Amino acid sequence: MTQRIAFQGALGAYSHEACVDARPDAEVLPCQTFEDVIAAVREGRADLAMLPVENTTYGRVADIHRLLPDSGLRIVDEAFVRVHISLMAQPGVAIEELETVRAHPVLLPQAASFLRQYGIRGESWADSAGAAAELAQTGSRTLGVLASDLAAEINGLHVLARHLEDHAHNTTRFLLMSPEPDNSRRGSHGMMTTFVFQVRNIPAALYKAMGGFATNGVNMTKLESYMVGGSFTATQFYADIEGHPEDPAVARALEELGYFTNTLDILGVYPRDPGRD
């Protein structure tokens, strides 16, 4: 049975590209918002959710860390997608004919020098892949779009220039999420474990909670804090570590963490993506 993956955005979005890279044979389900993506899986309209969590240039994706703990879903894989920005237009249109280029506000600054070179005005658009679909419908010869090659292919547009991004490292990390966890050891590059926790209200609780990972030699690749419940005193932490909960060192570190936390919830155990290297 073919799996279906829900993602936020229009066909051709970078999230769609992540779905294709991670599960080439799966069907995709475009959704309007991240909440819609999660709902699609919880309601059985999709088997998996593809959600972006961070970008090497722009940092954390807003709201995702707040949504993940209450989503009811578990991380089963991660995917790193290199963000390549292409300029596309109607077939037969030359760059010199373009007057305006539409793109998501995050993409426009990365192609600013290129657009200046050709005297093209940038126009912010809510969704780059959606802008590509709209361009295909309107048939305008003076309008271009900055988006992925996949968006051009889906909408029958012609790519005029590729790799316009200023940052050669620009990469987005995605999490593939399922209603059921998969704690099996798999992959050939090691395992990752992601969890959220709240520390007890005692002096140096966070310092003590983190001590177990240091003394047991467990590499913590990410630790972020964010408020919960609208309170400045209630803080939840999101963490990624290398290893499996059954690894002796990880098990000891998590046990020690438990002494200093009120809540601890493992969001997923999944293969370490080679893109980390």
CA 266 to chain centre: 19
User: Where is pLDDT greater, at 170 or 164?
Assistant: 164
Does position 51 have pLDDT exceeding 80, yes or no?
yes
Compute how many other C-beta atoms are within 10 angstroms of the C-beta atom of residue 27: 12
Specify the pTM.
0.90
Residue 174 among the catalytic residues = yes
pLDDT of 62 strictly over 80: no
Determine how many CB atoms are found less than 10 A away from the CB of residue 34: 23
Residue 158: its pLDDT value, please?
97
pLDDT at position 56? 82
Segment among 15-24, 25-34, 215-224, 227-236 with least mean pLDDT: 227-236
What confidence tier does 42 reach under pLDDT thresholds 50, 70, 90? very high
Report d(CA 125, CA 20) in Å as an integer: 24
Q: Has residue 233 got a pLDDT over 80?
A: no
One-letter amino acid for residue 20 of the chain: V
57 pLDDT more than 80:
no
Strands (E) in the chain, as ranges, are 4-8, 27-31, 48-55, 59-60, 74-82, 86-89, 100-103, 121-124, 143-147, 158-161, 171-178, 191-199, 220-227, 235-242, 261-271
CA 112 remoteness from chain centre: 24
Percent of the chain with pLDDT over 90: 75
Per-residue confidence band for 234, with pLDDT thresholds at 50, 70 and 90: low
Average pLDDT, the chain: 93
| pLDDT (tens digit per residue) in 135-144 | 999 999 999 9
Instruction: Give the active site residue among 7, 34, 172, 197.
Output: 172
3-state secondary structure of 90: coil
Mean pLDDT of 223-242: 81
- What integer pLDDT is reported at residue 170 of this predicted model? 82
Q: Give the 3-state secondary structure percentages of the chain, helix then strand then coil, rounded to 5.
A: 30, 35, 40
Answer whether 29's CB lies under 8 Å from 6's CB. yes
Domains of the chain in sequence order = 4-82+171-176 (3.40.190.10), 86-161 (3.40.190.10), 192-268 (3.30.70.260)
In which band, very low, low, confident or very high, does the pLDDT at 242 lie, cut at 50, 70 and 90? very high
pLDDT at residue 1 in the model:
81
- Residue 61 reports pLDDT greater than 90: no
Active-site option among 7, 34, 114, 174: 174
Structure-block tokens of residue 186? 């798999």
Give pLDDT, residue 235. Answer: 76
